[in-house]
Chain A
Amino acid sequence: MKTDIILAGVGGQGILSIATVIGTAAMANNLYIKQAETHGMSQRGGAVQSDLRLSDRPIASDLIPLGQADIILSVEPMEALRYLPFLKPDGWVVTSSAPMINVPDYPEVERVLDVLRARERTVLVDADRLATEAGNIKASNMVMLGAATPFIHLTAADMEQAIRTIFGRKGDDVVAVNIEALRRGIAAAAV
């Protein structure tokens, strides 16, 4: 068993909290984990990426080799496309459809979404709307995690337990909203 995930987004969008939940769930399942993060300059609104690797065997490289990722999990649609060279030919793209427009030459959003819609094995999720429905737009990360859960060798119950572990100290309300967001994400991916 091995799952290589490219987490993508824009600095400040909090892709690392997705990584933390997956990492915690994986550790609880005694899997090997390596998770390479982006710190420093690019965190200032630049493109950020995290390589998250799970396996039942020891993992050698902190970086996912080109063309070997199983999933690109992105919280921003254009960022999902940036890492396609890392994806396996039969890999999945799971991305939020909500653009983060902080550069003057950001392409027409529909053009970005069209590329994604035209691609097989792509899950495009209206994460902001689902998160709002779950109780807080900030939980759109957990919606995206939910949408990717079917493609990761971890169960929804594993993810929920990890959310309880991580968000527990922030109170029951925060845990409930995040779990609801996760569930809505899972449901969205199933459609």
Chain B
Amino acid sequence: MNQKLLLGDEAIAQAALDAGLSGVYAYPGTPSTEITEYIQGSPEARARYIHSDWACNEKTAMEAALGMAYAGKRTLVCMKHVGLNASADAFMNTAITGVNGGMIIVAADDPSMHSSQNEQDSRYYGKFAMLPVMEPSSQQEAYDMVWAGYELSERVKLPVLMRVTTRMAHSRTTIVQRPAIAPRTVSFPEDRRSFILLPVFARMQYKKLIAVQPELQAASTDMGFNRFLPGSDTSLGIITTGIGYNYLMENFPDGCPYPVVKIVQYPIPQAYISKLVGMCNRVLVIEEGMPFVEEQLKGLVPHPAFTVEGRLSGLLPRDGELSPYLVAKALGLNPVVTGSVPDVVVNRPPALCKGCGHQDMYNALNAVMAQYENGRVFGDIGCYTLGALPPFKAIDGCVDMGASVTMAKGASDAGVRPAVAVIGDSTFTHSGMTGLLDAVLEKTPMTVIISDNSTTAMTGGQDSHGYGILARICLGLGVEEEHLKVLVPLKKNHEENVRILAGEVAYEGLSVVIFQRECVQTAARRLRAEKQNKK
């Protein structure tokens, strides 16, 4: 028996490797990053030439994976929940084309927004696209579901969405591995039209997707992951989804007295739900995320035979992660907590690292913006979002990957002067380039600062696609050469950087200022590795 101590993310990666993966496609995003990193670090993946380079963004990742699935091979696409938004166009249409080889799309949701700007629940996307969804309750189940997911994907010729949440993704436990199988060889779809979504073919494909739904519903009970667990006390029926099951069982170490429907695969298993509401007139839904099952079960009008409780009824909080404590309270177990946090404890929010180049960039920017009464700075997604906090308080916005550039443009169009965007190098190549082209074409008066630390820093220092070519990309998009400046954010350059940045901010046209200095974390790791190699 081969056992390993793995994170949930790593269990997914190991399962995909064992199940004959040919390529993983991903853009880093907490809490999904470790799936791809595990494959990148795997000697067996290297030996088998498994594709694992990072993609520019989630959309390019999704489409490349679809291409591999078109060619009959097993593929994995990984992203954080909001990455599914970025790739939604491709995602929705993978349901229409279907796949030839097995394809699993992992969306890692972040309830409580530990490292995210919202806590959207990817299960809605699964229902929206009419695709099967897996939501493992444990790391071992995640491992097993990747195997089963590929089999299901190849059987019904559809991608499978796997939804994980932070606590599953980032918790480590022992995993029992299965013997690995060989990867698939290249094969092509039987019907050439299935991947050509002309309306005439797309209608045909959509009917196929609708027709396969009963099979997906049957799979929700037949595959054995969803369970009906009998209980003697029918005064309450419980439905759990994903890791909600663990919090329930934490409170009943010797077994739950109530009947339970454990949901970890969708569509929602109707037979089990009917059985539960047939025996219990009060149902508690415990789900990590939004009230996805609860809302469907409840419907629009009260049901005469049963009441539904959960996040909508207020028995569980409407937002945020669940915990054993919150579930205990919902179960009426009155958990006692005696300890409290002493007054002496203060908050310790995350902050930019000592010596980080973003700090010097913000010091220069703040000096420039202090000259203006109504200038606005639109930030973006990355470490530099921390420029919102003291001591900098430098940005007025942070919405989604690339929105700094386009929001600065819109604000400039509205008459805001100066309008400044601050975006990192990796975020720029993810989704900033197209917005910059809009601004170039309209000669929009605004300044785009690319704070280039030559890495995807927030997620742990992954490769950045703009490395060494950012200035050329900007020039290629049509930025005027005399209004493209490259500066080095260091204390000793402060006065000069302020002078040059001030000139560009004052320019009544489009300018780009690249502040370029390697991330201190990446630099430290690189130096350590170089030292190690010398030994």
Given contacts A60-B249, A63-B324, A65-B323, contact A40 B459 (CB under 8 A): yes
- In the assembled complex, the CB of B108 is this many whole angstroms from the nearest CB of chain A, namely 11
Given contacts A62-B243, A81-B344, contact A46 B172 (CB under 8 A): no
Pairs A–B under 8 Å by Cβ, sample size 16: A11-B350, A37-B170, A40-B31, A41-B114, A46-B350, A46-B351, A60-B246, A60-B250, A62-B173, A67-B338, A78-B345, A81-B344, A81-B345, A85-B341, A105-B346, A112-B344
Contacts of B346 in A (CB 8 A): 78, 103, 105-107
Selected contact of B325 from candidates A66, A81, A103, CB within 8 Å? A66
A24 interface residue, CB < 8 Å from B? yes
Q: Using a CB-CB cutoff of 8 Å, which residues 392-415 of chain B contact chain A?
A: none
Contact indicator B115/A40 (Cβ below 8 Å) = yes
B493 interface residue, CB < 8 Å from A? no
Contacts of A81 in B (CB 8 A): 341-342, 344-345
A87 CA to B342 CA in the complex, in Å? 13
Contact indicator B253/A60 (Cβ below 8 Å) = yes
Q: Using a CB-CB cutoff of 8 Å, which residues 8-52 of chain A contact chain B?
A: 10-11, 19, 23-24, 27, 32-47, 51
- In the assembled complex, the CB of B238 is this many whole angstroms from the nearest CB of chain A, namely 14
Tally A-B pairs: CB < 8 A. 153
Selected contact of A34 from candidates B33, B173, B336, B390, CB within 8 Å? B173
A87 CA to B337 CA in the complex, in Å? 9
Told that A61-B250, A111-B344 touch, could you supply 15 new A-B pairs with CB distance under 8 A? A19-B172, A27-B5, A32-B174, A36-B167, A39-B115, A41-B115, A47-B347, A60-B249, A62-B246, A81-B344, A89-B339, A103-B348, A106-B346, A112-B344, A115-B344
Contact indicator B324/A65 (Cβ below 8 Å) = yes
Contact indicator A61/B324 (Cβ below 8 Å) = yes
A79 CA to B337 CA in the complex, in Å? 19
A174 interface residue, CB < 8 Å from B? no
Selected contact of B342 from candidates A23, A59, A86, A115, CB within 8 Å? A115
> Using a Cβ–Cβ cut-off of 8 Å, how many residues does chain A contribute to the interface with B?
51
Contacts of A51 in B (CB 8 A): 171
B478 interface residue, CB < 8 Å from A? no
Contacts of A39 in B (CB 8 A): 30-31, 33-34, 115, 170, 460
Selected contact of B383 from candidates A24, A36, A44, CB within 8 Å? A44
Residues on B facing A (Cβ under 8 Å): 3, 5, 7, 30-31, 33-34, 114-115, 167-168, 170-174, 243, 246-250, 253, 323-325, 328, 335-342, 344-353, 383, 386, 390, 458-460
- In the assembled complex, the CB of A138 is this many whole angstroms from the nearest CB of chain B, namely 12
Selected contact of B246 from candidates A33, A61, A105, A111, CB within 8 Å? A61
Contacts of B173 in A (CB 8 A): 32-35, 59, 62
Contact indicator A27/B339 (Cβ below 8 Å) = no
A63 CA to B34 CA in the complex, in Å? 20
Contact indicator B243/A44 (Cβ below 8 Å) = no
Interface centre among B34, B335, B348 (most CB of A within 10 A): B348
Contacts of B350 in A (CB 8 A): 11, 41-46
A78 CA to B345 CA in the complex, in Å? 6
A76 CA to B213 CA in the complex, in Å? 54
Given contacts A34-B173, A35-B173, contact A63 B339 (CB under 8 A): no
- In the assembled complex, the CB of A88 is this many whole angstroms from the nearest CB of chain B, namely 8
Contacts of A27 in B (CB 8 A): 3, 5, 174
Contacts of A117 in B (CB 8 A): none
A33 CA to B30 CA in the complex, in Å? 23
A112 CA to B348 CA in the complex, in Å? 15
Residue of A nearest to B167 (CB): A62
Contact indicator B458/A40 (Cβ below 8 Å) = yes
- In the assembled complex, the CB of B174 is this many whole angstroms from the nearest CB of chain A, namely 6
Contacts of B352 in A (CB 8 A): 44
- In the assembled complex, the CB of B348 is this many whole angstroms from the nearest CB of chain A, namely 4
A59 CA to B139 CA in the complex, in Å? 12
A84 CA to B339 CA in the complex, in Å? 5
Contact indicator A82/B345 (Cβ below 8 Å) = yes
A35 CA to B31 CA in the complex, in Å? 15
- In the assembled complex, the CB of B263 is this many whole angstroms from the nearest CB of chain A, namely 17
Contact indicator A67/B337 (Cβ below 8 Å) = yes
Selected contact of A65 from candidates B30, B325, B460, CB within 8 Å? B325
A68 CA to B31 CA in the complex, in Å? 26
